Structure 1
């Protein structure tokens, strides 16, 4: 997957940030996003959200949903809007994880992702990744899947080994065009396996 970073024409009246202070945001041109895996949880950054913030802890792994492209936020207003969108997506996930019942949290996460991306993408996401997002055990995700879609882990693994809409990917802190490495994400992958794959891609 290649990251196509847009070039913006700026008028003299627009306040432009120094290159070292620029950040990237997910393009709003299509339904796509990134799951950002951290030490003990995962976050979702949807269209318009800032990513690769210099003050943000390093990612354990990054999973692309769809084919997100990253655009440089070159003005103060661009950056303010991108941070605002990141906060909005964070609040969307926070409303889900605040529910006291773990199974309900899992069901709400599955339903929310299905509404935005479609069932095939959500069914193909590894349970451990969804568990990091919802703050539940992977087994709770499996239980919610069984109740939500009347399916089993065996059915899911047999019919949807992976989705072409899901990839383990690298993202760049640079605002210059460069190749972004990615590989398909297997439905059965564990977080540990995803992290190892991410490390290999980063070193490529």
Structure 2
């Protein structure tokens, strides 16, 4: 391949999607969730503090890293060295974070966080992007009210399962009719 063709090829490969553009002000909840609350949580995570998502409530935290997001549901640990690199957080439900009372509580919470990560990993193993979106939406709707899930931004789900935000928008609009949107991505 000559150098002129290589330059054109490289220029065509440049993506206009840049994850930094979604943090933090461009990622807004439709229900008007307080930004200051999210910044307080983020500051606590950056400080290295360790918390456990209250297992007695239907709540959780979407933790945005550089190129992906993770969901920490009830009982999962957040913070410590594991989440110091997070760039943004998005509470789901009425978030309640507790400090671990013992070493055993902390250990158990790490195991639960790992289970949440494994659940998302199972979803992302599907090679069809639209089906990944449909599955993550179904999982969230099983646990949270549909209105709450509808208020979560497309980019949150896209970063959880590795698809473009446009794919999430299309799947949400078309519902379970995956045949029409399976060609996306």
What range is the shorter-chain TM-score in?
0.5 to 0.7
The match for 1:89 is 116
Residue 111 (structure 1) shift: 0.8
**Among 49, 52, 71, which residue is 1:44 paired with?**
71
Q: Is the Cα contact below 8 Å between 1:22 and 1:74 reproduced in 2?
A: no
Q: Is the Cα contact below 8 Å between 2:49 and 2:79 reproduced in 1?
A: no
The match for 2:97 is 70
The match for 1:99 is 126
Residue 57 (structure 1) shift: 3.6
**Among 110, 114, 133, which residue is 2:137 paired with?**
110
CA distance in 2: counterparts of 1:94 and 1:147, whole angstroms:
24
The match for 1:53 is 80
Q: Does 1:121 align with 2:161?
A: no
Cα-Cα RMSD:
2.1
Greater relative CO, 1 or 2 (CA 8 Å, sep 6+): 1
The match for 1:142 is 169
Residue 131 (structure 1) shift: 0.6
The match for 2:56 is 29
Q: TM-score, normalised by structure 2?
A: 0.66
CA distance in 2: counterparts of 1:62 and 1:145, whole angstroms:
22
SS of alignment partner, residue 66 of structure 2: coil
SS of alignment partner, residue 30 of structure 1: coil
Residue 149 (structure 1) shift: 6.6
Residue 65 (structure 1) shift: 1.0
Q: Is the Cα contact below 8 Å between 2:158 and 2:165 reproduced in 1?
A: yes
SS of alignment partner, residue 55 of structure 2: coil
Residue 109 (structure 1) shift: 0.7
The match for 2:159 is 132
CA distance in 1: counterparts of 2:96 and 2:147, whole angstroms:
21
SS of alignment partner, residue 81 of structure 2: coil
Q: Please list every run of 5 or more consecutive structure 1 residues that lacks an aligned counterpart in the other structure.
A: 3-20, 151-204
SS of alignment partner, residue 163 of structure 2: coil
Q: Is the Cα contact below 8 Å between 1:33 and 1:47 reproduced in 2?
A: yes
Higher helix share: 2
